[in-house]
Chains A and B, each alone.
Chain A
Amino acid sequence: MRSVRTAVAIVVAGALAAPAVAVFPLAVSTSRFLDIAGFSGRWFASAAEPFWLKSIELSIVLGIGAATAACVIAVPAAYAAATGGSARTTKCLDGLAVATLVMPVIALAVGYFRMFGESDARVLFLADTTLCFAMPYLSLRMASARLSDAQLQAAELLGATRLGAMFAIWIPNLWRPLALGWVLAFLTSWDETVLSVFVAAPGTTTLARAIWETMQRERDLTAAAINALSAPLLSTLLVVLLGVPSSRGSAR
């Protein structure tokens, strides 16, 4: 019975992951189309061309910048909410953070287009930071609800300032949810296609936009090679930080 359940679970999870796993055979295919034929490293060589390198560089800079900015802004906000901040402000922030997750990004793209017209990387940075904010904020909000505030109270009694207690106690205790929030925020920015397609000027090409436009027009499988290199790293990082939920408790 257990072996049947194991097989069913692996088959279902594998089938749902198949479109993503397809990057590996497609990355080494000799064909220019979505077809596996022969074995070649040409798409890996093509990934080193200036067009792709520039888009990868922009995506990495935007991803790291937006994820870090989102964390820098989210940490004090989540800390204030966890340590008895105004209930109204907390509710407002919680609602807005959830709203950024559930609202269609294309509606936001139309708004950005009305605000800025065709824009450069600075506007993408603002948009990405806004969309990334919810990841560290909600991750910290959920984790801090399970954190005992005895240490914070003790630190305060011993004369620590609020800011000092945040850096010395709160953040070190919550480094894992914070790191998870950073990785999720980076992935949000790394994967963000709609804003870069509709809002960014032609010269501002992120990797997601380059993949989308190239795959539609040219049938170039360089995108498969890039994803074959980046996906194992990003997915492993995500799973390690998220932790496999265990029956002995929550996510470790």
Chain B
Amino acid sequence: MEGWSREVKSVRHLAYTAPALVLLAVGFGWPLVLLVVGLGSNGFTFPARLIVRVEMTTIELAITVSVAATALATALALVVRNLNEWVRRTVFFLCLFPMGVNIAFRVFGVQYLLSPEGPLVATAEALNLSLNPGALLFTRTATTIGLIHWTFPVVVPLMFVAATRLDEATEHAALLLGAPQRAVVFRVILPQLGPAIATSFTLSFCLAYGSFITPAALGGINDVTITRLIGSFLADGRGADASAAAVVALLGPTVFVLLFWLALRAARMSTMSTRHLSAER
């Protein structure tokens, strides 16, 4: 009887999850399988060193963006955590406002800000600064700025939530014991934010790595990313080359997420063994 009810239960659960499994198999798994399977039969024509160079550029860019976006989100979350409700609301709304604007337009917003007619150049001229923000357009810096602008609203809620869950008692205890502010930040606050920082870094890395619109609108000819390369292959009708480059493009986030998962697992194991040891003592 118990075996029968367990069987009924598992059939019910399968009925609940089957639509999701079918959707993900057809809409996600199958297109990716086709990419990999078709790779052997269709020869690609671009040199391997090109893809290595492009992949390295993409990874460098994604790492820069994820470090900057995570650092900014962490700093902002820590700065606002004890401020007035209306300040936190205003800052949070400002951070999330870009999500309501199409990314296809936001990249042109970055172009406008950096353009010779834009407000940054006007401000630099008014202040007699030697900076020329206009020179940043269509360079890696412009792409980096555009990608930080894109990934920041995605990671900011993660850091805001993590900052509100900080254990203030430990922080106060450290201060009462005479620890300097810097030590409190690096030895009390940041370790508590570790999982959120790691998640934010991984998420922004994957988003920046896979972004097409921002590098295509803001990047120059010397910093072609893997997604731009695929886009140009598709636009030229080079399907086999696009497939091969797309398979390479899948490797970046896969390896990165795998490393993140392994690090998280190792951290959990170490916490568990520490708890086990202290329980034994």
Question: Which A residues lie at the B interface, using CB under 8 A?
Answer: 2, 5-6, 8-10, 12-14, 16-23, 26, 33-36, 72-74, 76-77, 79-81, 85-86, 89, 92-93, 96-115, 126-127, 129-130, 133, 137, 162, 187, 190-191, 193-194, 198, 207-209, 211-212, 215-216, 223-224, 227, 230-236, 238-239, 242, 244-247, 249-251
Cross-interface CB contact of B234 among A77, A80, A113, A212, cutoff 8 Å: A113
Given contacts A5-B79, A19-B98, contact A76 B105 (CB under 8 A): no
A-B contact pairs, 20 of them (CB 8 A): A5-B83, A10-B87, A12-B75, A16-B72, A17-B94, A19-B110, A20-B149, A77-B16, A93-B21, A108-B31, A110-B31, A114-B31, A129-B23, A193-B104, A209-B104, A215-B105, A231-B100, A235-B93, A245-B161, A246-B164
| B184 within 8 Å of A (CB atoms) | no
Let me know if B35 and A211 touch, CB within 8 A. Answer: no
Pairwise interchain contact A34-B108, C-beta atoms closer than 8 A: yes
- Give the distance in Å from the alpha carbon of A74 to the alpha carbon of B91 in the complex: 31
Contact check, B246 vs A162: say whether CB atoms are below 8 A apart. Answer: no
Cα distance A133–B25 when bound, in Å?
12
Question: Is there an interface contact between B148 and A16, defined as CB atoms closer than 8 Å?
Answer: yes
A106 touches B246 (CB 8 A): yes
Instruction: Point out the residues of chain A lying under 8 angstroms from B148, CB to CB.
Output: 16
How many angstroms from the CA of A215 to the CA of B35 in the assembled complex? 31
CB-based nearest A residue for B158:
A245
B249 touches A106 (CB 8 A): yes
In the bound complex, residues from chain B placing their C-beta under 8 Å from that of A81 are 17
Asked if residues A73 and B83 are in contact (CB atoms below 8 Å), the reply is no
We find that the number of chain B residues with CB closer than 8 angstroms to chain A is 98
Q: Quick check: A242 and B157 within 8 Å, CB to CB?
A: yes
Q: Which of B76, B89, B152, B212 counts the most chain A CB atoms within 10 A?
A: B212
Cβ B35 vs Cβ A89 within 8 A: no
Closest to B168 in A: A247
Per the bound structure, the CA–CA distance linking A149 and B119 in Å amounts to 55
Asked whether A104 lies within 8 Å of B104 as measured between CB atoms, the reply is: no
B189 lies within 8 A of chain A by Cβ: no
Tell whether, in the assembled complex, residue B253 and residue A208 are in contact, meaning their CB atoms are under 8 Å apart. no
Report chain B residues within 8 Å CB of A98.
257
Chain B residue contacts of A22, Cβ below 8 A: 109, 112-113
Beyond the given A191-B104, A208-B103, could you list 13 further A-B residue pairs with CB under 8 A, ordered by the A residue number? A13-B94, A19-B106, A20-B97, A26-B109, A36-B117, A104-B252, A130-B24, A130-B27, A198-B231, A227-B105, A231-B100, A236-B100, A244-B160
